[in-house]
Amino acid sequence: MQLKPLAFSLLLSVFSLTPVPETLAAENIEPALNADEIELSQWLDSQEDNMVEMIERITNINSGSLNKAGVNAMADIFSRELRQLGFSVSTLPGDFIEMPSCPGSNYNIDVADHVLASRAGSGTRLLLMGHLDTVFPSDSPFQTFRREGDMMYGPGVSDMKGGLVVMLYALKALNEFGFLQDKAITLLLNSDEEIGSLSSRKYLEQQALLHDYGLVYEPGSSLIRQRKGLGQARFVVRGKASHAGAAHEQGRSAIKELAYKIVEIERMTDYESGVTVNVGIINGGEARNTISPCAEALIDLRYPEPQQGLDAIAQFEDIFASVYSYAVDSGELTTESWTNLHRPAKIPTPESDYLLEKTLSISKLLGQSIGVGDSGGGTDGSLTQAVGLPTLDSLGGSGSGTHSNREQGQISSLVERAKLSAVLIHRLAVE
Ligand SMILES: [Zn+2]
């Protein structure tokens, strides 16, 4: 693998979200498309209907992160397809992750197995990443695929069933012309990306160390250069139940304490430094006339710099350890918590900028106009880049409304992005 660090990388500040350098892909660093690549591109032009048929089929399978049967059905489809392309396919065991919870609620996470597929080869080692799960649970009202002209609608059409099909068809194109021979390509398809890759993180990090470049098939109208880090925290406040009329003073309200803690936690948001905190879910109480014995919350954290993530977790811990709601701490209010910085901030490196610039140059050769942006959202690419694998994100199709029942994707972008990936993989794998 030969790296070509770019001059502009010297200008980058390492720890803050920096504007995209204007020099990025100002000049085309890539040679023109050769006859093989034109063939790849033409073959993919003929595949739009097949790609849409596959997206329709897999969008109609609910694969919410906690729907193990649905995620497994997705894993079976992709395992079969990849075996047909000559990959050896195995599964990596999921995990059972216990979470603190109030009685009657269950936030434990039972993660389905992940798929690892690989082809042996002698060139540059590529790790392709995608997730089989979506954010839509099996009882979501948003379950089916619908097409209108060049747009498609449905759970995961963009994030990222569309991306998985882009990845698969890029590989199918390469295979069609024998270009997968002797190429060292690994795919890791995980089942828990939408809940923070809590089980698959270790596998992603292990694989990152065994490869030269990482490609992630999240959706994106632009290629994403830099991302904020993500964290999450769950906490459960336990108090003392009592009759709200007959013995109010004997109770210790977990809901009251939770409310005070939430105010403290929400105060941590600081748009100037880029740190944001969101209490996304709360739950608690037993009855209108019972002082609540238990209440719980789930918090989302975003941060541009690694240290800010660590500082925020320390602040959470202080808030969890304090009692705000009663003048005298009787020891009857306790808090149990779980915190996790599940996505490091994605900081560009000269190697990841090289990969980005190469991809932008190829997109121009293909007559495409793809931009570059930054994002407050994290992906598995943040995990692999953090352990040293230069990783390019957002190679899936373009779309919008992800994580909502307005999710949509642009059909023509699927073939475009598959062409981009096919040529990119073709060129990277022989460096
Ligand atoms: Zn996604």
Co-location of 212 and 90 in the same domain: yes
Of 343, 375, 406, the position where a domain reaches its end is 343
Centre of ligand 1 from the C-alpha of residue 379, in Å: 7
Co-location of 244 and 381 in the same domain: no
Centre of ligand 1 from the C-alpha of residue 282, in Å: 24
Mean pLDDT for the chain?
Answer: 93
Count of Cβ atoms closer than 10 Å to residue 307 Cβ: 11
Q: Return the structure tokens found at 323.
A: 């009692």
Centre of ligand 1 from the C-alpha of residue 160, in Å: 5
Average pLDDT over residues 242-268: 97
State residue 2's pLDDT score.
39
Of 313, 343, 373, the position where a domain reaches its end is 343
Centre of ligand 1 from the C-alpha of residue 35, in Å: 34
Residues 29-73 pLDDT 10s = 889 999 999 999 999 999 999 999 999 999 999 999 999 999 999
Average pLDDT over residues 118-125: 95
State residue 16's pLDDT score.
40
Whether the per-residue pLDDT at 310 is higher than 60: the answer is yes
Q: Which of 385, 394, 375 is nearest to 348 (CA)?
A: 385
Centre of ligand 1 from the C-alpha of residue 132, in Å: 9
Centre of ligand 1 from the C-alpha of residue 100, in Å: 26
Count of structural domains, the chain: 2
Nearest-angstrom CA–CA distance, 359 and 291 = 59
Co-location of 176 and 30 in the same domain: yes
Is residue 369 very low, low, confident or very high in pLDDT (cuts 50, 70, 90)? confident
Centre of ligand 1 from the C-alpha of residue 237, in Å: 32
* CATH code of 32's domain: 3.40.630.10
Centre of ligand 1 from the C-alpha of residue 193, in Å: 7
Co-location of 215 and 301 in the same domain: no
- As a residue count, the chain comes to 431
- Domain residues for the domain of 410 are 7-227+346-428
Co-location of 209 and 234 in the same domain: no
Co-location of 289 and 386 in the same domain: no
Of 319, 343, 367, the position where a domain reaches its end is 343
Domain-located, residue 278: yes
Centre of ligand 1 from the C-alpha of residue 122, in Å: 31
Nearest-angstrom CA–CA distance, 428 and 414 = 21
Three-state secondary structure of 59-110: HCCCCECCCHHHHHHHHHHHHHHHHHCCCEEEEECCCEECCCCCCCCCCCEE
Q: Return the structure tokens found at 177.
A: 């012309």
Q: Looking at residue 33, what DSSP letter applies?
A: P
Co-location of 67 and 152 in the same domain: yes
Centre of ligand 1 from the C-alpha of residue 171, in Å: 20
Q: Return the structure tokens found at 47.
A: 């595949």
Helix 412-428 to helix 350-365 angle (10° resolution) is: 120
Is residue 20 very low, low, confident or very high in pLDDT (cuts 50, 70, 90)? low
Co-location of 261 and 128 in the same domain: no
**What are the backbone angles phi and psi of residue 372, rounded to the nearest 5°?**
-125, 140
Co-location of 417 and 310 in the same domain: no
Residue 413 near residue 219, CB atoms below 8 Å = no
Domain-located, residue 18: yes
Co-location of 380 and 241 in the same domain: no
Nearest-angstrom CA–CA distance, 431 and 423 = 13
The DSSP result for 165-214, as a single string, is: HHHHHHHHHHHHTTTTTT--EEEEEES-GGGT-TTTHHHHHHHHTT-SEE
Three-state secondary structure of 209-274: CCCCEEEECCCCCEEEEEECEEEEEEEEEECECEECCCCHHHCECHHHHHHHHHHHHHCCCECCCC
Domain-located, residue 179: yes
pTM: 0.88
Centre of ligand 1 from the C-alpha of residue 62, in Å: 15
Q: Which of 365, 387, 357, 80 is nearest to 214 (CA)?
A: 387
Co-location of 332 and 374 in the same domain: no
Centre of ligand 1 from the C-alpha of residue 126, in Å: 20
* CATH code of 297's domain: 3.30.70.360
Domain-located, residue 2: no
Co-location of 100 and 139 in the same domain: yes
Domain-located, residue 1: no
Nearest-angstrom CA–CA distance, 163 and 408 = 13
Nearest-angstrom CA–CA distance, 169 and 286 = 52
